[in-house]
Amino acid sequence: MKETTLIVTANEMLCEDACLLETEGDIPVFAPGQFAMLEVPLADRLLRRPFGIAEADGRSAAFLYQLKGEGTRALSRLKYGDRISAVLPLGNGFPVLSGKIAVVGGGFGVAPLLPAARACKAAGAEVRIYNGFASAEREFLSGLFAKAGSLTVCTDDGSAGYHGFPTAALEADLGGFFPDAIFCCGPTPLMRAAKRLGESRGITTYVSLEQRMGCGVGACLTCTCRAGGHNKRVCKDGPVFLSTEVEL
């Protein structure tokens, strides 16, 4: 991990509150599921923002982010050629497994699952992807996911694909596709559902947690989660945990 300057090559709105920031720079090798802390281009904002690394090779990296507050709105104004400081790659990612892998994503949580699905597919896994969005207008990155495995898009309102939670779509498939592992990242209710499904069916389940972060490197102890009666650091001990390790 290191602190480095990235140069913006594209900063594209995917839907009303989702943007994909594409950058170039000297990008260290990363494990799928690791994240980056990006500086916010506002002088009075001190905290970097944690984003999953959606795609990266040695020269480029892409980050999916949600327009949420002043900080991310300032990020969305970055243009081609602008410079931004990043700390990456951080935390522990998903394992790269062969066998049968179910990838379950929700909303902005799909970002770190893209490299995880790709890496498992490259390792010979049969990858099925269940990505959930609020509605058809809020769906993104499906073109890239479709190349990383067999994709089922799910929507909460039924406006596209499967009507319901992606965990429900996976559960409906279990008769024909019983995975060796589930990878999940998304809103807490979805991760709870994945934890419940995985643990009740005896499927090893990995969840990638999100928490308000300070330093992102494990020092400030602000992004904790409960694990076995103790606090663990989401940024350094996670963000990917075995579902059995953490309380959700």
Partner 1 sequence: MNTRVNLCGTELKNPVLTASGTFGFGREYNEFYDVGKLGGIVGKGLTPLPREGNDGVRIAETPSGILNCVGLQNPGVDAFIRDELPFMRSLGCAVIVNAAGSEISDYEFMAERLSETDADMIELNISCPNVKSGGMAFGVLPKSVEQVTAAARKHCKKPLIVKLSPNVADIADNARAAEAGGADAVSLINTITGMAVDLRTRRPVLGNVTGGLSGPCVRPIALRMVRSVYKAVKLPVIGMGGIMTAEDALEFILCGATAVQVGTANISDPMAAARIVDSLEDAMKKYGINDINELTGALAD
Coil, strand or helix: which one is 28?
coil
Tokens 């694990």 -> residue: 227
Q: Which helix (H) or strand (E) holds 163?
A: strand 162-163
Find the shortest distance in angstroms from Cβ 179 to partner 1.
Answer: 34
Interacting residue with partner 1 among 15, 31, 47, 160 (CB under 8 A): 47
Cβ proximity to partner 1, 37 vs 116, nearer residue: 37
Interface pick for partner 1 out of 1, 123, 172, 248 (rule CB under 8 A)? 1
Pairing of strands 224-227, 126-133: unpaired
Residues 135 to 174 in contact with partner 1, rule: CB under 8 A: none
**What is the rounded CA–CA span in Å between residue 152 and residue 162?**
7
CB of 168 to partner 1, least distance (A): 28
CA separation for the pair 33, 236 (Å, rounded):
12
> Phi-psi category of 75—alpha, beta or left, where left has phi over 0 and alpha has psi -120 to 50?
alpha
Nearest residue (CB) to partner 1, 188 versus 231: 231
Chain residues 48-107 in contact with partner 1, contact rule CB under 8 A = 48, 71, 85, 87
204-243: which residues touch partner 1 (CB under 8 A)? 212-215, 217-224, 230-231, 236
Q: Going residue by residue from 3 to 32, which x/- string records binding to partner 1, judged by CB under 8 A?
A: x-----------------------------
Q: CA nearest 2: which of 90, 93, 94?
A: 90
Sign of CA dihedral 98, 208, 133, 64: negative
In the complex with partner 1, the residue whose CB is nearer, 14 or 221, is: 221
User: Smallest distance from the beta carbon of 66 to partner 1, in angstroms?
Assistant: 16
Look at the alpha carbons of 123, 124, 130, 136 in this order and tell me if their dihedral is positive or negative: positive
| Interface ranges with partner 1 (CB under 8 A) | 1-3, 39, 44-48, 71, 85, 87, 212-215, 217-224, 230-231, 236
